[in-house]
């Protein structure tokens, strides 16, 4: 695709993900809105929003796609030791808003966040509707790490994670993967390539393969899996 597709407000008529741009990788469309219907429709088609303040809503479907299969999660010996020490505790879905706020915080002096106020509101609404999922990591009753995303059918769509102490985000991912596996969820969508996630067992697959797995797994009604502990 050479030209960016601009969508009318609230449109769910997303282009075929296979027509996304090669550069920047995966850019597919602009516009529409962040209603629950638009976001869920996009995710079911392998598309997600990513943009910064001052930009229109941009929709992406990169090729290749990074995914993590819960059964393939790699836990290093040092991380196993940290987990056994039980200095950090985890919960599900108790502080979704706080987790997304922490993920939106700047990572360094010059960094900008893509988790805009509109994104926060949209994903908190999806959480209230039963599609959002968060893992919280605690140290002495203080929130020190976590992750959040959406779960639709048999896929968890990871959005972001944060860590304020060593290994907190890794422990959140281990907790998530173990719980997802018990629920029969076979795939975590990590969206784009990350050396950090590769070190934990994530893999790169062609977009067409991801879209095929997505179509098979989310079912006809996009039902959610209850993840509260």
Cα–Cα nearest to 169, from 99, 96, 86: 99
pTM (2 d.p.): 0.91
Helix ranges, 49-204 (H): 77-85, 96-104, 117-128, 168-182, 195-198
The whole-angstrom separation of Cα 60 and Cα 215 is 17
Helices (H) and strands (E) in the chain, counts: 7, 11
CATH fold, domain 5-62, is Alpha-Beta Plaits (3.30.70)
Q: Are strands 48-49 and 142-152 parallel, antiparallel or unpaired?
A: unpaired
* Residue corresponding to tokens 């102490």: 165
Rounded average pLDDT over 39-46:
97
Q: For residue 24, count CB atoms less than 10 angstroms from its CB and return exposed for 0-12, middle for 13-18, buried for 19 or more.
A: exposed
CATH code: domain 66-217 is: 3.40.630.70
Q: Is the pLDDT of residue 217 over 90?
A: no
205 three-class SS: strand
Which pLDDT tens digit goes with each residue over 178-215? Answer: 999 998 898 999 999 988 899 999 999 999 999 999 98
Least confident of 57-71, 133-147, 207-221: 207-221
Domain boundaries of the chain, sorted by first residue: 5-62, 66-217
Structure tokens at 166: 């060593």
**Secondary structure class of 38 (helix, strand, coil):** helix
Q: At 43, phi and psi to the nearest 5?
A: -60, -40
Distance CA 22, CA 213 (A): 22
């Amino acid at each position: 695709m050479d030209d960016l597709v601009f969508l009318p407000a609230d449109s769910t008529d997303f282009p075929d993900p296979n027509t996304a741009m090669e550069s920047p990788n995966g850019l597919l469309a602009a516009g529409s809105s962040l209603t629950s219907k638009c976001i869920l429709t996009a995710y079911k088609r392998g598309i997600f929003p990513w943009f910064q303040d001052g930009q229109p809503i941009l929709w992406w479907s990169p090729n290749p796609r990074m995914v993590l299969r819960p059964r393939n999660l790699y836990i290093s010996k040092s991380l196993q030791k940290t987990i056994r020490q039980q200095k950090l505790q985890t919960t599900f879905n108790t502080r979704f808003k706080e987790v997304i706020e922490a993920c939106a915080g700047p990572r360094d002096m010059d960094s900008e966040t893509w988790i805009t106020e509109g994104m926060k509101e949209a994903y908190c609404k999806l959480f209230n509707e039963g599609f959002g999922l968060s893992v919280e990591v605690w140290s002495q009753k203080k929130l020190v790490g976590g992750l959040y995303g959406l779960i639709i059918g048999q896929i968890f769509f990871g959005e972001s994670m944060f860590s304020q102490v060593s290994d907190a985000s890794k422990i959140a991912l281990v907790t998530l993967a173990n719980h997802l596996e018990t629920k029969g969820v076979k795939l975590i969508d990590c969206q784009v390539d990350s050396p950090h996630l590769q070190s934990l067992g994530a893999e790169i697959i062609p977009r067409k393969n991801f879209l095929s797995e997505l179509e098979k797994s989310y079912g006809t009604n996009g039902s959610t899996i209850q993840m509260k502990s």
